Structure 1
Amino acid sequence: MYNKYKLSGQTLSLEVVNSHPYLGIQLQDDMKWDTQVVHSTAKASRILGLIKRNLYYCSEQLKSIAFTSLVRPHTEYGAVSWDPHTKGHCKQLDRIQRSAARFVKHNYEKSEGAVTKILCDLEWPRLQDRRSAARLALMYKITQELVDIPSDQFLTLVTRQGLRRKNSQNYQIPHCRTNTYKNSYFPRTTQELQGTTADASEPQLTSITPPTCLAYMLKV
């Protein structure tokens, strides 16, 4: 299927595709992130394989630094926009870190909970916790006008009398009719702060304050 456009007097045919990269993020026509997750894990896996071949006899500290600086960034690039919510996608990304943890500790034990213990020893938080912290940190920057994203176009500010915290900013969690919108950035992040679901019958409010975001950032 092709669409024809005219540019500078020339007729151009643009092919319709299912996905296409934009600023390093794979966008799909169905608003899902399957292609992006596959792309991120594939690139991270290739670099992890390179590290395993070249740093096999190096110290745990060097291996850990190599992973956190060369591999993990590929699983988190632009993740505030495409942070997956399905278990399948989360597990697909977590396999990279779990494989790296075994390599760093040189522990390939197959018993239940072995990898979890290794991750605790390395003090590596779950990747989904890091992505959540990044989304919450960006939300704080948006509400404080520290980034050029207009909050009034995406967030509804609600004022209530008798608030205990004078400096708190309360935003209403939008009503979502589709899972795609429900798990997009603004509805998902505000409902995480509230600790509730976005399809409640009554409008939900959430407060965005520096201590709240700091508590999440301390996880990483």
Structure 2
Amino acid sequence: MMFHPEKCTTINITKKRSPIHTGYRIHGHTLESVPGGKYLGVYISKDLSWNSHLQQTAAKATRSVGFLRRNLRGCPSDVKAQAYTKLVRPVLEYASSVWDPYTIQQIDTLEQVQRQAARFATGDYTSREPGCVTSMLQHLAWDTLEERRARNRAVMFYKIMNNLVEIPLHHYIHVSNTRTRSAVANNIRYISTRVDVYKYSFLPRTIITWNSIPPDIRNQPSIDSFRHALPTISMPGLISTM
């Protein structure tokens, strides 16, 4: 496969304020260095912050909710709810195992989209008393997006642990084979981290969630049975900070 050099760019991923810049060339063409760009639909920034991706995702989902409001105004509530879950929520959750946010501000940016959709689905745009939208979400049986992302990360980890995806996890984790007061057999050893960009990335964060899932659920024989069992338990590891 031939690469078109004028359509290729480089991203210098670093947290340093004054990084060392290196030029890269393809077919005699020096590639442009950019602060970020999309890869498989996910916007990756040079500082590994997900702010740009979250803003783009929330904006796209908000436009979709607006489209549904204009075109499904007179439809029944169940039709509106299904339109949201089938057309908008996948936008909010695409590849979320990779970029699952951890700050309150980032989490609220996405939750606000679903809260707007709840008003649309129920047809209630006037209620303003405290807890009114939460009641709408409960009536619609919509879990928070944060809870859904935690379950999606657990499902991805199940796939990795059972060799259902090509990710060589044994290079990065260690399984405890003995039971002690502080560890359960077959738990994954926690990964020690010092910076938030790694601490809240997929592996360190999801290991916390995985170890908190009861062994009988972790040992489900199929991905469908595992996925079906997850909503019956609370999901630890929903770590939110300012």
> Same fold, TM exceeding 0.5?
yes
Q: For the structure 1 residues 153 and 159, does the alpha-carbon distance in structure 2 shift closer, same or farther, using more than 3 Å as the test?
A: same
Q: Which residue number in structure 2 is paired with residue 92 of structure 1? A: 109
Q: Which residue number in structure 1 is paired with residue 40 of structure 2? A: 23
The separation in 2 between residues aligned to 1:104 and 1:114, in whole angstroms, is 14
The separation in 2 between residues aligned to 1:111 and 1:51, in whole angstroms, is 25
Shift of 1:218: 4.6
Check the 8 A contact 2:43/2:52 in 1, yes or no: yes
Q: Which residue number in structure 1 is paired with residue 7 of structure 2? A: none
Check the 8 A contact 2:107/2:146 in 1, yes or no: yes
Amino acid at match of 1:43: K
Shift of 1:217: 4.2
Please give the per-residue CA displacement for 1:150-198, whole angstroms capped at 9, x wherever unaligned.
11022112221589xx9x6321011111111110001001112345xxx
Q: Which residue number in structure 2 is paired with residue 118 of structure 1? A: 136
Check the 8 A contact 1:40/1:75 in 2, yes or no: yes
Two-structure CA RMSD over aligned residues (Å): 2.6
Stretch deviating more after TM superposition (142-151 or 70-79): 142-151
Query: Structure 2: 5+ residue runs without aligned partners?
Result: 1-11, 13-20, 221-225, 234-242
The separation in 2 between residues aligned to 1:170 and 1:139, in whole angstroms, is 13
Query: Structure 1: 5+ residue runs without aligned partners?
Result: 196-205
Q: Which residue number in structure 2 is paired with residue 33 of structure 1? A: 50
The separation in 2 between residues aligned to 1:93 and 1:162, in whole angstroms, is 40
Q: Which residue number in structure 1 is paired with residue 230 of structure 2? A: 216
Q: TM-score, normalised by structure 2?
A: 0.77
Amino acid at match of 1:67: Y
Check the 8 A contact 1:140/1:213 in 2, yes or no: no
% of aligned pairs identical? 32
More strand by share: 1
Q: Which residue number in structure 2 is paired with residue 200 of structure 1? A: none
Check the 8 A contact 1:3/1:16 in 2, yes or no: no
Check the 8 A contact 2:68/2:83 in 1, yes or no: yes
The separation in 2 between residues aligned to 1:16 and 1:94, in whole angstroms, is 34
Aligned: 1:106 with 2:115: no
Q: Which residue number in structure 2 is paired with residue 138 of structure 1? A: 156
Size of the alignment, in residue pairs? 205
Equivalent of residue 6 in structure 1, options 25, 28, 31: 25
The separation in 1 between residues aligned to 2:180 and 2:202, in whole angstroms, is 29
Amino acid at match of 2:120: F
Aligned: 1:153 with 2:167: no
Check the 8 A contact 2:36/2:43 in 1, yes or no: yes
Equivalent of residue 61 in structure 1, options 50, 70, 78: 78
